[in-house]
Amino acid sequence: MSPFSDALSIAASVRRGERSATEVLEEHLGRIAEREPEIHAFNLVTDGPARATAAAVDAAVAAGEDPGPLAGVPVAIKDNLCTRGVPTTCSSRILEGWRPPYDATVVQRLAAAGAVAVGKTNLDEFAMGSSTENSAFGPTRNPHDTSRVPGGSSGGSAAAVAAGFAPVSLGSDTGGSIRQPAALCGVVGVKPTYGLVSRLGLVAFGSSLDQVGPFAHTVADAALVCEVVGGHDPGDSTSLPGAFPSVSEHLSDGVAGLRVGIVTELMGEGVAPDVAARVRAAADALAGAGATVEEVSVPAVTFGLSAYYLVAPAEASSNLARYDGVRFGNRVDAATTGEMMTATRTAGFGDEVKRRIMLGTFVLSAGYYDAFYGTALKVRTLMRQDFDTAYESYDVLLSPTSPTTAFAFGAKTADPMTMYLNDICTIPTNLAGHAAMSVPFGTGDDGLPVGVQVLAPALGEVPMFRTAAVLEAAAHAEGGAA
Amino acid sequence: MAERITTDDVAKVAHLARLALTPDELETFTGQLAEILEHAEDIAALDLAAVEPMARPVPLVNVFRADEPGEPLDRDEVLACAPVAEDGQFRVPPVLGEAP
Specify the pLDDT at position B61.
81
pLDDT category, A157, cuts 50, 70, 90?
A: very high
**Per the domain annotation, does A151 fall within a domain?**
yes
Closest to A208 (Cα-Cα) out of A341, A90, A383? A383
For the residues A448-474, what does the mean pLDDT come to?
98
Q: Active-site residue A412, yes or no? A: no
**Per the domain annotation, does B59 fall within a domain?**
no
Q: Looking at beta carbons, which residues of chain A come within 8 Å of B36? A: 309, 359, 416-417, 420
Closest to A166 (Cα-Cα) out of A240, A223, A82, A225? A225
For the residues B5-14, what does the mean pLDDT come to?
97
Per-residue pLDDT reduced to its tens digit, A4-31: 999 999 999 999 999 999 999 999 999 9
Partner residue opposite B13 with nearest CB, options A101, A208, A362: A362
Per-residue pLDDT reduced to its tens digit, A399-425: 999 999 999 999 999 888 889 999 999
Q: Enumerate residues 6+ apart whose C-beta is below 8 A from A19.
A: A10, A13, A72
For the residues A247-271, what does the mean pLDDT come to?
97
Residue A32 has φ and ψ, to the nearest 5°, of: -65, -45
Cβ-based neighbour number of residue B80 at 10 Å: 13
CB A58 within 8 Å of CB A70: no
Q: How far apart are the first and last CA of chain B?
A: 50
Determine the Cα–Cα distance for residues A226 and A250; give it in Å rounded to an integer: 14
Per-residue pLDDT reduced to its tens digit, A64-83: 999 999 999 999 999 999 99
Looking at the complex, does the CB of residue A348 fall below 8 Å from at least one CB of chain B?
no
Per-residue pLDDT reduced to its tens digit, A27-66: 999 999 999 999 999 999 999 999 999 999 999 999 999 9
| Cβ contact, residue pair A325, B60, below 8 Å | no
**Per the domain annotation, does B62 fall within a domain?**
no
CB A135 within 8 Å of CB A128: no
Q: Where are the beta strands (DSSP E) in A167-246?
A: 168-173, 188-191, 211-216
The CATH number assigned to the domain holding B36 equals 1.10.20
pLDDT value at A482 more than 50 = no
Q: Express the helix, strand and coil content of chain A in percent, nearest 5 each.
A: 45, 15, 40
Residue-range definition of the domain harbouring residue B19: 7-44
**Per the domain annotation, does B95 fall within a domain?**
no
Looking at the complex, does the CB of residue A237 fall below 8 Å from at least one CB of chain B?
yes
Can you tell me whether residue A99 is helix, strand or coil?
coil
Looking at the complex, does the CB of residue A411 fall below 8 Å from at least one CB of chain B?
no
**One-character DSSP codes across A150-168:** --SSSHHHHHHHHTTS-SE
The CATH number assigned to the domain holding A104 equals 3.90.1300.10
A55-60 own/partner pairs: CB under 8 Å, 24+ apart = A55/A21, A55/A22, A57/A14, A57/A21, A57/A114, A57/A116, A58/A20, A58/A21, A58/A22, A60/A114
Q: What is the amino acid identity at position B8?
A: D
Query: Which A residues 419-438 touch B at CB under 8 Å?
Result: 420, 432-434
CB A13 within 8 Å of CB A73: no
Specify the pLDDT at position A407.
97
Residue A292 has φ and ψ, to the nearest 5°, of: -90, 125
Calculate how close chain B gets to A59, using CA atoms only, in Å.
29
For the residues B78-87, what does the mean pLDDT come to?
95
Q: Looking at beta carbons, which residues of chain A come within 8 Å of B11? A: none
Determine the Cα–Cα distance for residues A469 and A466; give it in Å rounded to an integer: 5
Q: Active-site residue A177, yes or no? A: yes
Partner residue opposite A365 with nearest CB, options B13, B35, B99: B13
Determine the Cα–Cα distance for residues A34 and A203; give it in Å rounded to an integer: 31
* Domain total of chain A: 1
For the residues A254-261, what does the mean pLDDT come to?
98
Calculate how close chain A gets to B37, using CA atoms only, in Å.
8
Calculate how close chain B gets to A84, using CA atoms only, in Å.
10
Closest to A439 (Cα-Cα) out of A250, A215, A230? A215
Burial class of residue A469 in the structure, from the number of CB atoms within 10 Å of its CB (0-12 exposed, 13-18 middle, 19+ buried): buried
Which residue in the list A5, A13, A177, A399 is annotated as catalytic? A177
**Per the domain annotation, does B57 fall within a domain?**
no
* Cα-only R_g, chain A: 21
A343-348 own/partner pairs: CB under 8 Å, 24+ apart = A343/B20, A344/A94, A345/A94, A345/B17, A345/B18, A345/B19, A346/B19, A346/B20, A347/A93, A348/A92, A348/A93, A348/A94, A348/A95, A348/A323
Q: Enumerate residues 6+ apart whose C-beta is below 8 A from A415.
A: B32, B35
Q: Enumerate residues 6+ apart whose C-beta is below 8 A from B42.
A: A302, A303, A306
**Per the domain annotation, does A473 fall within a domain?**
no
| Cβ contact, residue pair A355, B56, below 8 Å | no
| Cβ contact, residue pair B54, A327, below 8 Å | no
Q: How many CA atoms lie within 13 A of A364 on its CB side?
A: 18
Specify the pLDDT at position B99.
56
| Cβ contact, residue pair B39, A306, below 8 Å | yes
Specify the pLDDT at position A8.
98
Specify the pLDDT at position A2.
77
Q: Looking at beta carbons, which residues of chain B come within 8 Å of A324? A: 18
Specify the pLDDT at position B96.
81
Averaged pLDDT score across all residues of chain A:
97
**Per the domain annotation, does B28 fall within a domain?**
yes
DSSP state of A171: E
Residue-range definition of the domain harbouring residue A133: 7-250
% of chain A with per-residue pLDDT over 90? 95
Query: Which A residues 351-410 touch B at CB under 8 Å?
Result: 354-355, 357-359, 361-362, 365, 368, 371-372, 374-382, 384
For the residues A434-440, what does the mean pLDDT come to?
98
| Cβ contact, residue pair B33, A374, below 8 Å | no
Partner residue opposite B81 with nearest CB, options A98, A307, A342: A98
| Cβ contact, residue pair A326, B52, below 8 Å | no
Q: Enumerate residues 6+ apart whose C-beta is below 8 A from B4.
A: B34, B37, B38
| Cβ contact, residue pair A378, B53, below 8 Å | yes
Comparing A39-53, A92-106, A336-350, B63-77, which segment has the lowest mean pLDDT?
B63-77
Compute the residue count for chain A: 482
* Cα-only R_g, chain B: 23
For the residues A472-478, what does the mean pLDDT come to?
96
Burial class of residue B46 in the structure, from the number of CB atoms within 10 Å of its CB (0-12 exposed, 13-18 middle, 19+ buried): middle
* Interhelix angle A219-229/A105-112, nearest 10 degrees: 110
DSSP state of A265: G
* Domain total of chain B: 1
Number of A to B CB contacts under 8 A, please give it.
177
Is the Cα dihedral A168, A186, A265, A251 positive or negative? negative
